[in-house]
A and B are shown apart, each in its own frame.
Chain A
Amino acid sequence: DAGVTQSPTHLIKTRGQQVTLRCSPKSGHDTVSWYQQALGQGPQFIFQYYEEEERQRGNFPDRFSGHQFPNYSSELNVNALLLGDSALYLCASSLATGGDTEAFFGQGTRLTVV
């Protein structure tokens, strides 16, 4: 049973560009959350997708957007990249209802903006 998988593992982009990160949830999970983890900090919640809609959102600007597909996989898009967007981007999956509500994380995508 594959866990949460993210692609790519590393990415270098230029300031002002746009980037798309991808996530496949753990088998059986229907909810995907995205987090930004700056170096030496705890993960910060960006937003969460359930039933192909954004269900919750943290304190991030509109430059951060996402999408969830019918197979529950998800994308995170960041427009007009800033140097401060350099971070590890983590995807977590969970089940919206039922017994297993723990959130499981992928290995992350390391984004460097130059």
Chain B
Amino acid sequence: GENVEQHPSTLSVQEGDSAVIKCTYSDSVSNYFPWYKQELGKGPQLIIDIRSNVGEKKDQRIAVTLNKTAKHFSLHITETQPEDSAVYFCAATQGGGADGLTFGKGTHLIIQP
């Protein structure tokens, strides 16, 4: 089955700086890669996703890149703000979001004022 590795487990950045979280996956048939943000006491919230026919996707301060050959994908957050502090999870699956997702272990992003 699919295995997703996520790094780093904790990331502390100064407010206004950029943050990068990296994930690798093992199953070459995976074709859908969402990123979720989870705040304390809440369920994961989808923030951006990318499908295997696209190399990069951007939504305001958030971007995701995908390298299918190397089987890794990354989340980039620019101009970080205090409200970006949360745990971020990457995930992978085949068949889009309608199939079961395999998650990484999460990255605790801390934005220092």
Q: How far is the CA of A56 from the CA of B94 in the complex (A)?
A: 12
Q: How far is the CA of A97 from the CA of B106 in the complex (A)?
A: 28
Which among B45, B99, B105 is the interface contact of A56 at CB below 8 angstroms?
B99
List of A residues within 8 angstroms of B42 by Cβ: 107-108
- Interchain CB contact under 8 A, B89 and A103: no
- Interchain CB contact under 8 A, A105 and B45: yes
Q: How far is the CA of A48 from the CA of B96 in the complex (A)?
A: 14
- Interchain CB contact under 8 A, B100 and A42: no
Q: What band does the interface of chain A fall in when counting residues whose beta carbon is under 8 Å from B?
A: 20 to 34
Which among B49, B102, B106 is the interface contact of A102 at CB below 8 angstroms?
B49
List of B residues within 8 angstroms of A31 by Cβ: 98
- Taking the complex as formed, is B46 at the interface, i.e. its CB lies under 8 A from any CB of chain A? yes
- Taking the complex as formed, is A33 at the interface, i.e. its CB lies under 8 A from any CB of chain B? yes
- Taking the complex as formed, is A101 at the interface, i.e. its CB lies under 8 A from any CB of chain B? yes
- Taking the complex as formed, is B8 at the interface, i.e. its CB lies under 8 A from any CB of chain A? no
- Taking the complex as formed, is B44 at the interface, i.e. its CB lies under 8 A from any CB of chain A? yes
Q: How far is the CA of A92 from the CA of B101 in the complex (A)?
A: 10
Residues of B near any A CB (own CB < 8 A): 1, 4, 6, 32, 34, 36, 41-46, 49, 89, 91, 96-106
A-B pairs, 4 with minimum CB distance: A42-B103, A101-B96, A45-B100, A105-B43
